Amino acid sequence: MTTKTTLIETPAGPAKAMVLNMGPQHPSTHGVLRVVLELDGEIVLSARPEIGYLHTGIEKSCESKTYSQCITLTDRIDYLAPLSNNLGFCLAAEKLIGIEVPKRAQYIRVLLTELTRITSHLVWLGTHAIDLGAMTVFLYSFREREEIMKIYEYVSGQRMMTSYFRIGGLALEPPPDWLDRVRRVMDALPGHIDEYEDLLTQNRIWMARTKGVGCLSAEDAIAIGASGPLLRGSGVAYDVRKAFPYSSYDEFDFNVQTQTAGDCFARYQVRVAEIRESIKIVRQAMEKVTPDGPFRAEAPGIIPPSREEMKTSIEGLIYHFKIFTEGFAPPPGEVYQAIESPRGELGVFMASDGSAKPYRVKFRAPSFVNLQSLPKLCEGRLIADVVACIGTTDIVLGEVDR
């Protein structure tokens, strides 16, 4: 790759700017992002993100797997919000096939994806804080995240790679007392968020490090196609959950959090407020989830029959066998389904050629799109601001590279 080095004026004549490779092995590029910085002293002249170090070929792999098998791959796209990816993929597949998911399963999905949003924002808060030197917040937020991870584990058997949402509903009936656990965590969480805010929000150093740093105007944000907290921090109230409701989000009462400043502090405020909004949604979902009812749709040949049916009826056994050996074939067609993942608009495009395996799956990854804002955020600023800017764009490299 050829790079034209910027020339800078010095008292001794023009000189080449120092090129600094930040990453792919660097403590605060959040994985394996490489940013090529051109520096004049501490000032960043240009910043160019280089991606591809975590390319796993997930989209391509999906083409050789049945629709159900793809779900386990989606966990690994944005590994901080596996359930959001599951949801996006399942909704797209359901749209392609034309299945209506039972309300109870939809509410459980909403509840769990909002928990995912909370864990993802907690990880973001912790890592962003440690990037700016406030190490304690990191450990506090991971402590709370752990409690929510325990809920995942209780419900799905897995802490991170849950694969809990399946086409047509959920993988399993959740354990009977799981809502009590959720309630316990949700009762404790607001107090902990106050703790983080006590440590950060009014902290003079924190404000100095984030206010006015990494400004992104609403026009620029829209122009690059940014979404999620990055867009809302710039004052655009766009949220897929409100704009194009899915999975019964229209039945929930919540606000889209926005800030107008468009700097790192605004994005921090948006995310912290979103954690509180998510707690609100989780509480509403807990009211709506009934103790019993179907947890997946009835669609013979597409959705596996219940365990009992499989063991007792011949049709059940045949369907079960066929689904798990050769999958199911949706009608030919193309769908696009967007959801609001913690990082922004996660779109899933899916094309079917009528076979049991998708012809093409494409994820419109919010991290990938939001990463484009990085040069705009940090050019002309100091090295320390690059770290803050990478932090508040909240990228997950697994999702950027897929």
Partner 1 sequence: MGFISQHPVLVAAVVKIAVLLFIVMTALAYLTWLERKVIAHIQSRWGPYNVGAHGLLQPLADGLKFLFKEDVTPPTADRFIYTLAPFLALSLGLTTIALIPFGPPSVLFPNGQQIFSVVDLNIGLLFLFAITSMGVYGVALAGWSSNSKYALLGGLRSSAQMISYEVSLTISVVGVVLLAGTLNFNELIGGIPHGSTGQTGYWLHFIPKWNVIPQFVGFLCYLTAAIAETNRVPFDLPEAETELVAGFHTEYSAFKFAMFFMAEYANMITVSCLATILFLGGWLSPFPASWTWQNYLPGAGLLLLAVYCAWNTVSEMRGIARLQLGVVTLLAGGGGLICLYPPIAAGIQGPFWFTAKILAILFFYIWMRATLPRFRYDQLMSFGWKLLLPVSLANLVITAFVIVWPLLRKG
The residues binding partner 1 (CB under 8 A) are 18, 20, 26-28, 41-42, 129-136, 139-140, 143, 199-200, 203, 205-206, 208-209, 382-387
Task: Decide whether 371 or 387 has the Cβ nearer to partner 1.
Answer: 387
Q: How far is the CB of 133 from partner 1 (least distance, A)?
A: 3
Q: How far is the CB of 143 from partner 1 (least distance, A)?
A: 6
State both tokens at 221. 């944000």
Exposed, middle or buried by CB within 10 Å (0-12, 13-18, 19+), for 193? buried
Task: Decide whether 132 or 216 has the Cβ nearer to partner 1.
Answer: 132
Q: Which residues pair with 10 in a beta bridge?
A: 13
Residue with tokens 């050629």: 353
Q: How far is the CB of 148 from partner 1 (least distance, A)?
A: 17
Task: Decide whether 30 or 232 has the Cβ nearer to partner 1.
Answer: 30
How would DSSP label each residue in 311-332? Answer: HH-HHHHHHHHHHHHH---PPS
Q: How far is the CB of 18 from partner 1 (least distance, A)?
A: 7
Task: Decide whether 148 or 387 has the Cβ nearer to partner 1.
Answer: 387
Task: Decide whether 17 or 289 has the Cβ nearer to partner 1.
Answer: 17
Q: What is the SS3 assignment for 80? A: coil
Q: How far is the CB of 41 from partner 1 (least distance, A)?
A: 8
Task: Decide whether 18 or 223 has the Cβ nearer to partner 1.
Answer: 18
Closest to 75 in 3D by CA, of 64, 66, 88: 88
Q: How far is the CB of 131 from partner 1 (least distance, A)?
A: 5
User: Taking a C-beta distance cutoff of 8 angstroms, is the pair 84, 342 a contact?
Assistant: yes
DSSP-H helix ranges across 65-102? 67-74, 82-97
How many Å apart are CA 207 and CA 249, to the nearest integer? Answer: 34
Q: How far is the CB of 213 from partner 1 (least distance, A)?
A: 8
Q: How far is the CB of 379 from partner 1 (least distance, A)?
A: 16
Q: What is the SS3 assignment for 76? A: coil
User: Taking a C-beta distance cutoff of 8 angstroms, is the pair 215, 261 a contact?
Assistant: yes
How would DSSP label each residue in 163-205? Answer: --EETTEESSPPPTTHHHHHHHHHHHHHHHHHHHHHHHTT-HH
Task: Decide whether 55 or 211 has the Cβ nearer to partner 1.
Answer: 211
Task: Decide whether 118 or 129 has the Cβ nearer to partner 1.
Answer: 129
Q: What are phi and psi of 79, to 5 degrees?
A: -75, -5
Cβ neighbours, 10 Å, residue 309: 15
Q: Which residues pair with 67 in a beta bridge?
A: none
Task: Decide whether 240 or 374 has the Cβ nearer to partner 1.
Answer: 374
User: Taking a C-beta distance cutoff of 8 angstroms, is the pair 402, 366 a contact?
Assistant: no
Q: How far is the CB of 272 from partner 1 (least distance, A)?
A: 15
Q: How far is the CB of 140 from partner 1 (least distance, A)?
A: 7
Task: Decide whether 7 or 18 has the Cβ nearer to partner 1.
Answer: 18
Query: How is residue 28 annotated by DSSP?
Result: T
What type of residue sits at position 298?
E
- What is the helix (H) or strand (E) element at residue 45, kind and residue range? strand 43-50
Q: What does the longest C-alpha to C-alpha distance in the chain come to?
A: 88
